[in-house]
Structure 1
Amino acid sequence: MESTFKLQRKFRLLFTLPSFFVSLVIASATSLSIILIQGIFSNAIMSQRYEATAIFFAAFLFSIILERLILLRHSFASVRRLLAMSIVPNTSWAILSAFGLYQYSISQEQQVFYLMVVMGLSTAISIRIIILGSVFFKRISVGTLVSFIQPMLLFAIIPFAQTGVLFPIEQFSLLLAEEALAFSLTMVIPIICVGYLILLSKTGGRIIKNSPLIIFQGFLQAWVAERPKVIEELIETFSLEKEIVTSVIEFSDEKDTPTKRRAIIVPEVHPGPFYPIGSSNLPFELWKWSDSNNLKSLVFHGISGHEHNLASKAVVDTYLTEMNNLQLVSDGSTCTEPKSRSIGRATVSGLAFGDYAMLILTLAPYGMEDFPIFVREEINKAAKSIGFNGSILIDAHNSIGVTPVREDCEDIIQAAKDILRKIRFNTQMPFKMGYSHSNRLGIKLKEDVGPAGIGMVLFEINNKMHGIVSVDANNVALGFRDEVLSKIDDVIDICTTDTHFNAAKVMNSIGYTPFGGESSVKEISKVIKTLRIAAEKSMIKSNFVVKRNKNSYKVFGSALLDDYSVGLDRLFNIAKIGGVSTFLIILAVYALGITLVK
């Protein structure tokens, strides 16, 4: 999804911050460079300079600890990030101080050096206003006050390095009296930055009628600290209710033994937009729900797009609660053999359980994304007209690409109709069913597989084996699925859940890692063969029941996510323009200040 990639691209720096040790070294070096420049200017004895440097460094570390305490409720305001955050402001301060020292060496005017030191202080405060005001505080005024803490603590030590007096009030008063206008200009810089931040806070998208800075903060809390409450509260405000259908086929032996109950779960909920917001980790949530209900399940991806993202964790909890109220719509003990049909780039595989059809839709080996909703509606309508009581449609989502074009959709609908006609009148027969799952076998998987792991259901129909594999992943690397299938037997298809567990957090062109992005064909072939052996050992003669749940839930549509992305685009564009303008104004202030002193 383009908006997901845009979010990843904008905020990838959150994942490329230096380590704690590197941050500490760089932040310490930049802060110490400020006091060392004062030492060069000073005529104080060396022992006094060393003492001032030690006090300055202690004040710097104390300010980091103090800021961490102030920002204690912000878990992403780690010491590492606060250290990294101090690098740019303090570097700017050091550069301006060095420039002042250079100007002093030319003009021999002490006021020029003092002015540039104060300008550096003002610049450091201003940069911190922009960072703290936009990232950590809902009220810009509070962020502005906190922005003064570290620079003012450090500035208080500078006179000691030069005069041996911690607060030389007389010298300050004399300097301000002589160059009042020049030094008053230093206050213009923070004022400009506060105004700049206020301007940014007024810029938003078409749908989200809120300050984009507040939304940005909520997003960071969710994305970095995995605290989605703020952003989800905003999302729920603008969410719409849509009817969602979830289908479950439960399998059991004739005695309905609790330890032998298995299930195929096909939600028409989209697992997005990105973790931990909304239904991004729904496949694993459903896997845990089924496990708590003595069901050994496989979760698949129903036909649903980003317009069917559940709005919040609260809505997900409601959805899972409603899963306990599934309605029985069909049952039996027979099924047909699976059939497959390809038209153009479209392939449909399916079998019938009594009067319900289960179809798997794919465009593999060609690239694909979510099938549009009208595909589901057309196939469901066709199933009813052919004589089925209903159909359960699985979007295999197993070959990364773009949204299917109209021709592909028409081909998939036609192939589905052909399969429905075949299996509607094929002989149904008793079957055995086996189940296995990586989480239950302790199989270790790589980061391209989500927490719901890899599972297999294996059917023995008419003395032939037919397996279906579900992988908790967001699509499959192009060609990977076909390479794996070429090395294993008796598998109808390899499907993914379309989990968004790692969406927007991976630094590549799509913002996530598809299945096969880290795992090798050899590794996955071995895993599936292991699963097949385990599934065959668990094979039992099975009955089935089809259950469905239809309820309305608040969904976070793609339009809202796109508008959030657009709002941030506008925010960053204005930030760039305003940033350049602010920089030019600040340069003018620097030049004017130096001119007035001279």
Structure 2
Amino acid sequence: MDLATEDSLSQTIDRAVKRYSSLFKLPSYARVVVLLALICIGGGLISTAALFPSLDGLLSGLLLGSSLFLLNLVSSYVISTLVLRGDTIYDLRRTVALSLFCWMMWLAFIIIGVVVATPFGLSWWVRLCLLGFSAVVILRLIVFDSTSRKSYGRRLIASVLQPFACAVPFLVFWTAIAYPLTLYMLLYFVFSLGISIAASHFFLSTLNRVGQQTLGVPSISLLKAFLLNWIMDLNAPLEELLEKLGEEQDIGVSLMKFGSSKPKAAMVIPSVHPGPFKNIGSSVLPSMLKSALERKLNCVVCVPHGLFGHELDLASQAQNQKLIDRIVESADFEAAETKATSFVTLSNGTATACCQIFGKFVFISFTLAPKTTEDLPQDLGL
């Protein structure tokens, strides 16, 4: 690998690390509300200004947009505080943000309807508005069913409350401009809801089937557990699934102590990868193991990264504790070697290898510092 390629890889990884904390990050509540107001009022004005280019049309559009904005806020408040009360994910900010994204989708249908209705008649605007309503219902059904752990009835209410509430100003406006509201339009809402529920159920069932066939766990269950950890730092739901997916195997541990009557330093390298991410599995094992051994040995302890990849992640915090307890129990041994070679360092400008022999034991380290170092294959240790 040439130097330019290495620098490019390091820069790419550094950029990814900087954006790591931005995953699933939403704007502040105030910004979400402002964006929602702009889109709702802007959507109302766009609709009426293009189709009814007059002062009355502008005033009607402003009233329509303001009504949509208020109904979005009120419905989001009701959903977060009553319908999904206690849900670990859907606080008011996230609920309003979902309404914002849904209204952005709905607005796209409205704009298309305005464009088509200008040459072909007002009915096309109405049809596209109703089609946008159906799209939003399907989206909300999929989102809430995929992410909320509340009962299905509560998820259903949370899914339909906002779009049905926002449909009311449109119906009032269409009545005001003498557009005929027929029985077929009312039946549309009924059939649209039924078709939306069936479509979202089919979509999610298909996704669940893929996870069930591949891992033996429904895909949506994995997604919910992942989101609970990523958003709320709850590790138990995902670790319960990882325990089912994992397999038992023996774990080797290398432990070196330096000292005479009392240890002065220790180094421990378990055959475990510190992963997969955040506080899941063995991601926090190095710090936990370091703290436990320092309390036990009353000396400085380091836990460097071994030659292991994510295939050797522990499944849960419970597995971490089992391993730590066993290592701490085995740490009471006397140092046997009294001689050591000089510490040898060799570098080619990119990689640095270090070696020191303690009697019958050899310590070898490898690093690409200050460049980024990824997981290294176990073959390097053979």
The verdict on a shared fold, with TM-score over 0.5 as the criterion, is yes
Residues in 1 aligned to 2:213 and 2:311: alpha-carbon distance in whole angstroms:
17
Indicate the SS of the match to 2:356. Answer: strand
Query: 2:353 touches 2:365 (CA, 8 Å); kept in 1?
Result: yes
The equivalent residue for 1:97 is 110
Distance 1:35 1:13, change over 3 A: farther
Residues in 1 aligned to 2:372 and 2:116: alpha-carbon distance in whole angstroms:
63
The aligned amino acid for 1:148 is V
In structure 2, which of residues 52, 59, 68 is the aligned counterpart of residue 56 of structure 1? 68
Q: Does 1:31 align with 2:40?
A: yes
Q: Where does structure 1 lack aligned partners over 5 or more consecutive residues?
A: 165-170, 368-396, 414-598
> 1:164-183, aligned counterparts within 5 Å?
175-177=181-183
The aligned amino acid for 2:245 is F
Q: Does 1:86 align with 2:99?
A: yes
Indicate the SS of the match to 1:60. Answer: helix
Residues in 1 aligned to 2:199 and 2:104: alpha-carbon distance in whole angstroms:
20
Distance 1:37 1:121, change over 3 A: farther
Distance 1:142 1:226, change over 3 A: same
The equivalent residue for 2:275 is 272
In structure 2, which of residues 302, 310, 329 is the aligned counterpart of residue 298 of structure 1? 302
Q: Does 1:337 align with 2:310?
A: no
Range with bigger deviation, 149-158 or 20-29 = 20-29
Residues in 2 aligned to 1:232 and 1:26: alpha-carbon distance in whole angstroms:
37
Indicate the SS of the match to 1:262. Answer: strand
Query: 1:52 touches 1:160 (CA, 8 Å); kept in 2?
Result: no
CA offset digits 1:542-583 (Å, max 9, x no partner):
xxxxxxxxxxxxxxxxxxxxxxxxxxxxxxxxxxxxxxxxxx
The equivalent residue for 2:146 is 134
In structure 1, which of residues 391, 397, 400 is the aligned counterpart of residue 373 of structure 2? 400
TM-aligned CA deviation for residue 224 of structure 1: 3.1
The equivalent residue for 1:196 is 203
The equivalent residue for 2:223 is 216
The equivalent residue for 2:27 is 19
TM-aligned CA deviation for residue 277 of structure 1: 1.1
TM-aligned CA deviation for residue 233 of structure 1: 0.5
TM-aligned CA deviation for residue 116 of structure 1: 2.7
The equivalent residue for 1:322 is 326
The aligned amino acid for 2:136 is A
CA offset digits 1:317-347 (Å, max 9, x no partner):
2323334312544435833233549799995
The equivalent residue for 1:282 is 285
TM-aligned CA deviation for residue 235 of structure 1: 0.9
Query: 1:17 touches 1:84 (CA, 8 Å); kept in 2?
Result: no
**Higher relative contact order by CA 8 Å / sep ≥ 6: 1 or 2?**
1
The equivalent residue for 1:68 is 80
Query: 1:37 touches 1:94 (CA, 8 Å); kept in 2?
Result: no
Distance 1:358 1:126, change over 3 A: same
Residues in 2 aligned to 1:36 and 1:118: alpha-carbon distance in whole angstroms:
18
Higher helix share: 2
TM-aligned CA deviation for residue 123 of structure 1: 1.5
Residues in 1 aligned to 2:166 and 2:209: alpha-carbon distance in whole angstroms:
33
Residues in 2 aligned to 1:360 and 1:85: alpha-carbon distance in whole angstroms:
52
The equivalent residue for 2:119 is 106
In structure 1, which of residues 351, 360, 373 is the aligned counterpart of residue 357 of structure 2? 351
Indicate the SS of the match to 1:349. Answer: strand
TM-aligned CA deviation for residue 127 of structure 1: 1.8
Range with bigger deviation, 53-62 or 125-134 = 53-62
Query: 1:261 touches 1:295 (CA, 8 Å); kept in 2?
Result: yes
Indicate the SS of the match to 1:359. Answer: strand
- RMSD value over aligned CA atoms? 4.3
Range with bigger deviation, 310-319 or 78-87 = 78-87
Indicate the SS of the match to 2:273. Answer: coil
Indicate the SS of the match to 2:335. Answer: strand
Higher strand share: 1
Query: 1:49 touches 1:161 (CA, 8 Å); kept in 2?
Result: no
Q: Which has the larger radius of gyration?
A: 1
TM-aligned CA deviation for residue 185 of structure 1: 6.5
CA offset digits 1:483-515 (Å, max 9, x no partner):
xxxxxxxxxxxxxxxxxxxxxxxxxxxxxxxxx
The aligned amino acid for 1:87 is L
- Matched residues, percent identical? 19
Distance 1:90 1:335, change over 3 A: same
TM-aligned CA deviation for residue 265 of structure 1: 2.3
Give the alignment's TM-score, normalised by structure 2: 0.74
Distance 1:272 1:183, change over 3 A: closer
Query: 1:250 touches 1:263 (CA, 8 Å); kept in 2?
Result: yes
Residues in 1 aligned to 2:186 and 2:204: alpha-carbon distance in whole angstroms:
27
Distance 1:336 1:314, change over 3 A: same
The equivalent residue for 1:149 is 161
Query: 2:41 touches 2:62 (CA, 8 Å); kept in 1?
Result: no
Residues in 1 aligned to 2:334 and 2:360: alpha-carbon distance in whole angstroms:
7
Q: Where does structure 2 lack aligned partners over 5 or more consecutive residues?
A: 1-12
Query: 1:53 touches 1:161 (CA, 8 Å); kept in 2?
Result: no
Indicate the SS of the match to 1:241. Answer: coil
Query: 2:273 touches 2:312 (CA, 8 Å); kept in 1?
Result: yes
The aligned amino acid for 1:19 is P
